[in-house]
Amino acid sequence: MAVFEYQALSATGRGVAGIIEADSPAAARRRLREQGLHPVSVGESVPAGIAGREVPLRGLLGRSTAQEVSLMTRQLAVLLEAGMPIVDALSALLEQIDAPRLERIIHEVRDSVRQGATLGDALAAHPREFSALYVNMVRAGESSGALESVLFRLADYLENQLRVASRIKSALAYPAIMCTFGLGIILFLIRFVVPKISEVLARFGRDLPGITRALMSFCNWLRDYWWAGILGLIAVAVALHQYSKSAGGRRRWDWLRLNAPVFGDLSRKLAMSRFSRTLGTLVEGGLALMPALDIVKRIVQNVILEDAVDEARKAVRRGQDLATPLRESGLFPPMLVHMVALGERSGQLEKMLLRVADAYEEEVQTKVNTLMTLLEPVIIIVMGVFVGFLVLAILLPVFDISQSLG
């Protein structure tokens, strides 16, 4: 009896996916209908270890999270350190994974390794889950015979990236909530409260102040053409997105990210942290400098920095040290350049890079906290100005009417 993967709709219309055993695709569809499911597709067989399980459709689609990959990496490192052969370690790992998509991928990786492929090559078949950095680190670990040590370093690297991202998101959460809440209040006042008051003022038939007329015109436009505003914002967002994907647009956007007031320095420090942490981790894992720079070039996420790293890689290939082309580019801070030069002279390049990464990550966290501390009163002031405008626009005609009546 074969094993088939299916996607189907339940009686309530909910999308589900899972594994079912049957003699043929037709028999599998028949069994699904008997279970009250409407089959959408019945595909080729998958590893039998997950047969019979029904999981949410999104569990087999999309991609695994960085947290899931990080946890899987550390678990695999622990199993290998305990002396387990790689195939047995992958089999034991399957019993510990709760993520359906990642479980399916590890099944495929284990089968590939069982058939003679290296772990690095098996992981390379799943680029959405395992980046070039991850795959090349694993290959370097296999070549050096220290795979478990490399996996521990990879787990540390992934956890550190998650920690930095989590800190930044936590710092941004409060201002984002304040902005959303304040904007909601202002829109509510403009959409529902101001029109009612405007109707009352209009009954007196007096000329209204310019500020009040402007507010009423905006409220009328918002009431009648709110959909045009939303479509306009979507059109602008799509246009900017398409422009940023073009060669010239991407370069200009990346230049702005590095040179914008206030936030440019933050973006540059984040990029330097990513560069130092990734290159240090790769070199520490046993990868040669040339292929390590080639990987780093693809993960800095900025075309201007990509060009600088590529020039540095070409210079190293010509026999030059790494620090000199980094200094000549003018994009890398003096501290990073000096630490790289010191690391090359002492033979401890990876340690120096990781120290630089730690320093920049602390600077990023401090700068984000400072910016958020300054941003909170700015948000309050902006909201106060808007609310003050609304109050002034409403009270001016009220005072005028009350004086005329008095």
Q: What is the CA radius of gyration of the chain?
A: 29
Given a contact cutoff of 8 angstroms between Cβ atoms, the answer to whether 22 and 31 are in contact is yes
Distances (CA, A) of 53 to 64, 100, 212, 345: 18, 9, 64, 57
Of 28-37, 50-59, 121-130, the range with the highest mean pLDDT is: 121-130
Which residues, including other chains, have CB under 8 Å from residue 181's CB and lie 6 or more apart?
Answer: none
Tokens of 349: 């390049």
Segment among 19-23, 74-78, 130-134 with least mean pLDDT: 19-23
SS3 of the chain: the string is CEEEEEEEECCCCCEEEEEEEECCHHHHHHHHHHCCCEEEEECCCCCHHHCCCEEEHHHHCCCCCHHHHHHHHHHHHHHHHCCCCHHHHHHHHHCCCCCHHHHHHHHHHHHHHHCCCCHHHHHHCCCCCCCHHHHHHHHHHHHHCCHHHHHHHHHHHHHHHHHHHHHHHHHHHHHHHHHHHHHHHHHHHHHHHHHHHHHHHHCCCCCCCHHHHHHHHHHHHHHHHHHHHHHHHHHHHHHHHHHHHCHHHHHHHHHHHHHCCCHHHHHHHHHHHHHHHHHHHHHHCCCCHHHHHHHHHHHCCCHHHHHHHHHHHHHHHCCCCCHHHHHHHCCCCHHHHHHHHHHHHHCCHHHHHHHHHHHHHHHHHHHHHHHHHHHHHHHHHHHHHHHHHHHHHHHHHHHHHHHHHC
Cα separation, 321 vs 118, in Å, equals: 33
What residues does each domain of the chain span? Answer: 2-60, 66-159, 173-406
Query: pLDDT at residue 236 above 90?
Result: yes
pTM over 0.85: no
Task: Identify any residues that bridge with 16 across adjacent strands, giving them in sequence order.
Answer: 8, 56
List own/partner pairs for 242-247 with CB under 8 A and 24 or more apart.
none
The pLDDT of residue 151: 86
Tokens of 76: 């695999």
Mean per-residue pLDDT for 377-387? 84
Cα separation, 4 vs 47, in Å, equals: 9
The pLDDT of residue 60: 45
CATH superfamily of 173-406: Type II secretion system (T2SS), domain F (1.20.81.30)
Mean per-residue pLDDT for 298-309? 85
| Cβ atoms within 10 Å of 335's Cβ, excluding its own | 13
Query: pLDDT at residue 124 above 50?
Result: yes
Which fold, 66-159? Answer: Receptor-associated Protein (1.20.81)
Are the folds of 66-159 and 173-406 the same?
yes
Task: Identify any residues that bridge with 173 across adjacent strands, giving them in sequence order.
Answer: none
pLDDT digits (tens, 9 = 90+) for 129-170: 888 778 887 887 887 777 888 888 888 888 887 887 787 787
397 or 75, which is more confident: 75
194 or 2, which is more confident: 194
pLDDT band, very low/low/confident/very high, at 205 (cuts 50, 70, 90): low
pLDDT digits (tens, 9 = 90+) for 26-51: 787 888 888 877 777 776 544 444 44
The type of residue at 230 is I
